[in-house]
Chains A and B, each alone.
Chain A
């Protein structure tokens, strides 16, 4: 079976592109990122703060057995409903550098034609983690969605 989530990474490049098609209307997909209560459910983290607007910021925290095991935060640079979110991402208390993430949500016109009225949304993120395994590189990371 073909994997739904695809990751494209190239050595010597800063970005990792993650794409995924969802069987969801675009608005619902975006809502999963927009609503803290929904985001918490699928990301498995607690949302401490989420200001979905230009120059807003966010913070996540994950606990295990009462101890905080993961904290991340960032600044939102661009927030366009049902289209895209551009934000920084920083894991606290780790040596990983700050990365920039481009998240975009689009419908796949080709799929839409072939599947009648079904909503199929290709969606991707671009990120880069040299320090997590990529050799030769990276000072920053990207999450970007595909077009």
Chain B
């Protein structure tokens, strides 16, 4: 399986990005993560499975509970790769929007 590809597919989904943000502040159980969403529990589980498979999350057993932790190393790998490129376009497109709004008003 192509890991890198999975990582980008993983972060392309808004729910999975929200999960990553939640877990970034503290390790959480699947139940605690699911309580933040309206989606059915199995849907959230599926998202957790994908995030774990591509190593953005790692699981740790704590007694009877499994806690999900953010794998910061993997996250950094993704961000280092794509973020500067994305930021460049974000800046240009922000400018485009401003330029054209001004243009419309003149």
Contacts and interface: CB of A to CB of B under 8 A. Distances in A.
A110 interface: no
A142 interface: no
Interface residues of B, number: 26
Interface string A1-21: 011111111111100101010
B92 A43 contact: yes
A5 B86 contact: yes
A67 to B, nearest CB: 21
Interface stretch (A26-34, A53-61, A69-77, A92-100): A26-34
B40 interface: no
Interface of A: 2-13, 16, 18, 20, 22-25, 28-29, 31-32, 38, 41-44, 125, 129, 132-135
Given A10-B9, A32-B96, 7 more contacts: A3-B86, A6-B12, A10-B8, A32-B99, A32-B100, A42-B96, A129-B85
